[in-house]
Structure 1
Amino acid sequence: MSIEARLVSFLSSKEAGAIVLQGKWGTGKTHFWRHTIMAPVLAKPWKKRYSYVSLFGIESLAELKSALAIATDEFDQDARREKRKSAKILWLWWRLWAWLGDLLDFIPTFGEKLSAVFRRASFYLVRDRIICFDDIERRSEGMQLRDFLGLVSYLVDQRGCRVVVILNAGQLGDGQPAWDAYKEKVFDGEITFAPDLEQTISLGLHGSVDEPWHQTVSASLKELGVSNIRLVHRTARAVRLAMEATATTPLQDETVERIARVVPLLVYSAHGQGENAPPMDMITREGAYSFTFTLLGDDETRTPQEKAWQEALRTYGTSVDTTLDRALLSLVRAGYADREQLAQAIVEFEADRESRSLLEDYQKAWRTFHDTVAENGEEIVAAFERTWPQVSANARADETQSIARTMRLLGRQELATCFIDTWAAQQIDRPDALDMRTIQSYTQVDDPELLAAIERAREAAEPPLTLHDAFDRWLADTRGIDERAISTFAAASPAEIVELLDGVRDKRLVGALRRVMALDGNPGYPLWVSTVDNFASAFRQIASRSPLAAYRVKSWVGIEPASPERE
């Protein structure tokens, strides 16, 4: 018998009893109970008597009884409205209880006693009904599980109720021993709710089956492995917000598809850290290009977890790199849609179809590498010869390194050189792309041919500085790393640096020299290594001139005078 059939049978029985509906956190037990089990039962609420109570924040047994009485009253009144029954006397009683009970709490002694009378009288009306207790593990410390179980037993034995307790398995904390000791005396059985991935997603999206985005969102959540119904709900809500914000403007099918692919990824990352979701900084850092390659040692610096995340993102195949994606990210983070931002982002997205088409072709080219073990080298080369020139201008250095290594692996060194030189020439008008901090902020770039091309492009973009100008810039930029200055330092001789330093008198001198030596330890940055070597040699020469010079250099940068053999 299915879980649904067992619960329906229990609710249909005329005999009182109690059962537990348990399962892991986030599987959708409450949602399943409300929408699958109780929704048909309460289609005509006046034919049923039902009370639902969450124990979240409940402090005591008395407070729980009051909450149950209020839930009973609210349901019965709603049912009476549905049936258009008057029942004025009972209605007046409940209204009196609702405000007078609260008022009496503020009246000392007499008020407390009379308030207690009202609560007992209200609770007396709770009988012969279906009762659901939820969020047991979220009760306050003052609500003892033994007292709760005693109440369940009382409702069954003395009030003829059928009680369902929804429980997150293994989450009772200090109350677990009491639960284990008394549960068999209270409950007739336990039902474990453990839906598979498809069932959870279907349950969470049940209210959107007629929406144009439903099928894509469902498929996306399955690809991501989102098994927490709360994340499914958040996803559906975020997509609805995006659609409602643009309801006055017809959207292209491609736009709807994009929203339905990107939002599940963003929600999963933003709210699914407990579900091992990839972090948001990785999703926003990795571009459409990055998702297409994890090969040839390009990801050696990543941890096993980062590699797993990257592979999952590559498999998912949808990146966060358009203006529309960034607007959707703002929506997910804020919880509401900026209509103006979203509308403008959609205009740009729908106008940029040609660029996306080129990028999709390039991604398909990588599929010829990733999706087969067949000897298809010529197919791979042909795919990249056709697609790389169309997208290379906006690619990163590490992406260029990856494709160049792939060409070399296939014996096409001339093509690797062509791809590198073409990319480097395209970056001359993008100085930020040639900054070493940008270049090395993703996967490490250490390809000698590519690094040389980057340096040539940097020189073409901005002519080299004189040594004095470079050091002046270095003195002024006390927090950053001036790549143009470093290039000049790397090309200078130790003797030229000595001559330079002899002419400097500045309160920023010591800090500047220490920042130069802090460039050490970065073998992937050849210019940095050369700069440190040149300054270290210059410091040893300076330290050798006198005890005063030796003391200064030793205390400032920790370098000893040069020995005759060393210099």
Structure 2
Amino acid sequence: MSSTAAVKGEIERFLKSPNPEVVCVTGAWGAGKTYTWQAIFDRLRNQREIAMQRYSYVSLFGVNSLEGMKSAIFENLEFLVPQARSGFEALLSGGNSLFKQSKQLVGVAGAIPIVGGYVAKGQPLLFNTIRNQIVCVDDLERRSGISVKDVFGLISFLREQRGCKIILLLNESQLEADAAKEFSDYFEKVIDSKLVFAPTPADAASIAITSKDDVSALTREFCEKLSISNIRVIKKIERLIAIADLARLSPSVRKSAIHSMVMFGWCKFDSGANPPPISYMRQSSLSKYLERRGSKEKPSAEEARWDSIISAYEWGTLDDLDAVLLDFVDSGVLDADKVNRCVAQLEAKQDRADKLGKMQQAWNVFHGGFADNKNAVCAALIEGFKASFDVLSRRNLDEVVSVLRELDRAEDADGLVSFAEERCEADFWADDPFERGVKDSRIRQVLAERQKAATPAFNFEDDLITAAEKMDRGRQAQLAKVPVERYQELFEQRTGDRLGRLIHCALDYRRIINASDDEQAIVSRAEAALRAIAKKSRLNELRLQRYGVTLDEPASEDGEPKAE
């Protein structure tokens, strides 16, 4: 049994026993002492398993006198009956509410100068009602102006004279020196049993996060991985994750976002664990390494510890969503629009990766063995393409169709091409000058039909620019057929920057070593037009030298000038 389980078991025994006693539970701040006590108390209360029927909870935070402590015990008195809507239990629940209201009226009356004097004189009578009940005294180390000796004296009185059960919750390590000495001196006389509450990270995560949904499970897992044992820190992280509404994200993006949020929350809130500052997390491990190497500085012992924790947590680099979530944790202000944009980009990227993975799995059936499983291979390739078509290319289709035809599945091959023709977007069929030639004749037929239907009306001037800038082979084929006279006419009619752009686009193909026939034809016609313009005057001849065009005719392969 873990120490946490032992403490929980002792608290249950304490609540179920009618015998007066004093139990002390000590543990670090944020360990979950009060949280665990309240959770067990509420559960047993609802199950009607608590031995006594009255209860007071008092925090000594700010309490500066013994009378103040007594008043707090009375003012927080409640009857342990479950809330109900009808019957006798409803009557008792109503009485509990009425009693709470009456105590509030006593407090208000105490603030009225004359009336307050009478109330003050009546406080001993009110405290006289405190007997045969459970009292939880919390935050002993945070008291103000009241000694530990006086607190212990009142606790002892309640047990011995009033038949009460008292549980004392504190962080013993935070008692000042004098208080620690009094605690030690009177401990044996007052405290019946002492429990040290030191939950493991797994215990702390389970105590703080009780829900069973996926977000809660991931939050527990990552809190445990960072060894977070402060329950208040875990609850703050859980709250921020709920505000960011990470449950709505796709599983992979959700897991990554929660992984980041837990790290950011730990850095921001768990000062007692000495985590790296938020600013340290903004810099990647690689950039820190390069910076240190450049400056020839070694990481400090603290930085080495941080780096070790970050590495064990399998931390990578910040993506755009991480950066937005980091700002949220640091500032407490959530930019929902930025989060949504980053999530959309990440999920689209993940969707693409998932679909490409499905196609790769299909090819694994083909490449993954030598079994006689033609039907399985063909089915995998067809289904893989259909499941991923919106992230694939014509080349991918050509590869699948080629295999199908080689395996005598022509009908399936034609069906897959028809599927692509019907379902794939225009970009799938768009001209790509850098694509390898498509082998399948059926795909080439569809491609030709698509490109013919998409070919816009020819505009010589505009298409001369577009063909060069976009390497549009369709427009190049049309430009290669334009007579030299139209090139000359266009050049002579344009001036300034427009003229320069047209000439540069027409001659741009000269830089291509393996220019196509159409590209060579465009250059030839443009140069011929420019030579004709140069011959009209010495001035034009000088102007065209900047384009590398001379009056000499280009030589043919036999050394004779070429005929245009």
**Structure 1 length normalisation: TM-score?**
0.55
Are 2:348 and 1:346 equivalent residues in the alignment? Answer: no
**Residues of 2 paired with 1:94 and 1:355: CA distance?**
61
**Residues of 1 paired with 2:85 and 2:143: CA distance?**
32
**Residues of 2 paired with 1:60 and 1:138: CA distance?**
13
Q: Which residue of 1 aligns with 2:360?
A: none
**Residues of 1 paired with 2:217 and 2:94: CA distance?**
49
Q: Which residue of 2 aligns with 1:64?
A: 69
Q: Which residue of 2 aligns with 1:166?
A: 169
Are 2:96 and 1:85 equivalent residues in the alignment? Answer: no
Q: Which residue of 1 aligns with 2:531?
A: none
Counterpart secondary structure, 1:84: helix
Q: Which residue of 2 aligns with 1:562?
A: none
CA contact (8 A) 1:291 1:317 kept: no
Distance 1:183 1:339, change over 3 A: same
Matched pairs, number: 345
Distance 1:294 1:38, change over 3 A: farther
Deviations 1:111-152 (A, max 9, x none): 343121343333222221111111111112x12211111111
Deviations 1:3-33 (A, max 9, x none): 3332322222222111101123332222221
1:73-152 equivalent positions in 2, closer than 5 A: 73=78, 83-85=89-91, 95-107=101-113, 110-140=114-144, 142-152=145-155
Are 2:26 and 1:29 equivalent residues in the alignment? Answer: no
**What is the Cα deviation at residue 79 of structure 1?**
5.5
Are 2:323 and 1:316 equivalent residues in the alignment? Answer: no
Q: Which residue of 2 aligns with 1:49?
A: 54
Are 2:231 and 1:229 equivalent residues in the alignment? Answer: yes
**Residues of 2 paired with 1:33 and 1:268: CA distance?**
24
Counterpart secondary structure, 1:170: helix
CA contact (8 A) 1:146 1:178 kept: yes
**What is the Cα deviation at residue 340 of structure 1?**
2.8
Q: Which residue of 2 aligns with 1:328?
A: 325
Counterpart secondary structure, 1:125: coil
**Residues of 2 paired with 1:87 and 1:223: CA distance?**
44
Structure 1: which amino acid aligns with 2:320?
T
Q: Which moved more, 1:267-276 or 1:257-266?
A: 267-276
Aligned sequence identity (%): 27
**What is the Cα deviation at residue 342 of structure 1?**
2.4
Q: Which residue of 2 aligns with 1:432?
A: none
Counterpart secondary structure, 1:179: helix
**Structure 2 length normalisation: TM-score?**
0.55
**Residues of 2 paired with 1:49 and 1:299: CA distance?**
67
Deviations 1:372-407 (A, max 9, x none): xxxxxxxxxxxxxxxxxxxxxxxxxxxxxxxxxxxx
Q: Which residue of 2 aligns with 1:542?
A: none
1:191 to 191, 195, 216: 195
**Residues of 2 paired with 1:136 and 1:62: CA distance?**
16
1:219 to 215, 218, 221: 221
Q: Which moved more, 1:271-280 or 1:311-320?
A: 311-320
Structure 2: which amino acid aligns with 1:241?
I
Q: Which residue of 2 aligns with 1:262?
A: 260
Deviations 1:234-293 (A, max 9, x none): 2211111111xx67xx42111211121001100111112320211211111226x55999
Q: Which residue of 2 aligns with 1:306?
A: 303
Distance 1:92 1:274, change over 3 A: closer
**Residues of 1 paired with 2:314 and 2:83: CA distance?**
50
Structure 2: which amino acid aligns with 1:30?
T
Distance 1:299 1:14, change over 3 A: farther
Structure 1: which amino acid aligns with 2:184?
D
1:415-430 equivalent positions in 2, closer than 5 A: none
CA contact (8 A) 1:323 1:348 kept: no
Distance 1:271 1:97, change over 3 A: closer
Counterpart secondary structure, 2:76: helix
**What is the Cα deviation at residue 38 of structure 1?**
1.4
Distance 1:331 1:114, change over 3 A: same
**Residues of 2 paired with 1:90 and 1:170: CA distance?**
37
Q: Which residue of 2 aligns with 1:154?
A: 157
Gaps of 5+ in 2: 355-564
1:511-550 equivalent positions in 2, closer than 5 A: none
Distance 1:323 1:355, change over 3 A: farther
Q: Which moved more, 1:110-119 or 1:10-19?
A: 110-119
Distance 1:351 1:150, change over 3 A: same
Distance 1:54 1:338, change over 3 A: farther
Counterpart secondary structure, 1:191: strand
Counterpart secondary structure, 2:173: coil
2:181 to 148, 163, 177: 177
Counterpart secondary structure, 1:190: strand
Distance 1:86 1:317, change over 3 A: closer
Counterpart secondary structure, 1:143: coil
Distance 1:309 1:293, change over 3 A: farther
Counterpart secondary structure, 2:46: coil
Counterpart secondary structure, 1:285: coil
**What is the Cα deviation at residue 89 of structure 1?**
8.1
The two structures, once aligned, show a CA RMSD in angstroms of 3.2
**What is the Cα deviation at residue 331 of structure 1?**
2.5
**Residues of 2 paired with 1:60 and 1:78: CA distance?**
33
CA contact (8 A) 2:228 2:234 kept: yes
**Residues of 2 paired with 1:292 and 1:354: CA distance?**
33
1:455-494 equivalent positions in 2, closer than 5 A: none
Q: Which residue of 2 aligns with 1:541?
A: none
CA contact (8 A) 1:283 1:319 kept: no
Deviations 1:452-477 (A, max 9, x none): xxxxxxxxxxxxxxxxxxxxxxxxxx
Q: Which residue of 2 aligns with 1:490?
A: none
CA contact (8 A) 1:242 1:337 kept: yes
Structure 2: which amino acid aligns with 1:105?
A
Q: Which moved more, 1:263-272 or 1:309-318?
A: 309-318
Are 2:9 and 1:8 equivalent residues in the alignment? Answer: no
**Residues of 2 paired with 1:94 and 1:238: CA distance?**
34
**Residues of 2 paired with 1:97 and 1:232: CA distance?**
35
Distance 1:91 1:40, change over 3 A: closer
Structure 2: which amino acid aligns with 1:228?
N
Return the index of the structure with the highest Cα Rg: 2
Deviations 1:29-76 (A, max 9, x none): 2222122x3132211569732221111111211111111112114x55
**Residues of 1 paired with 2:221 and 2:332: CA distance?**
23
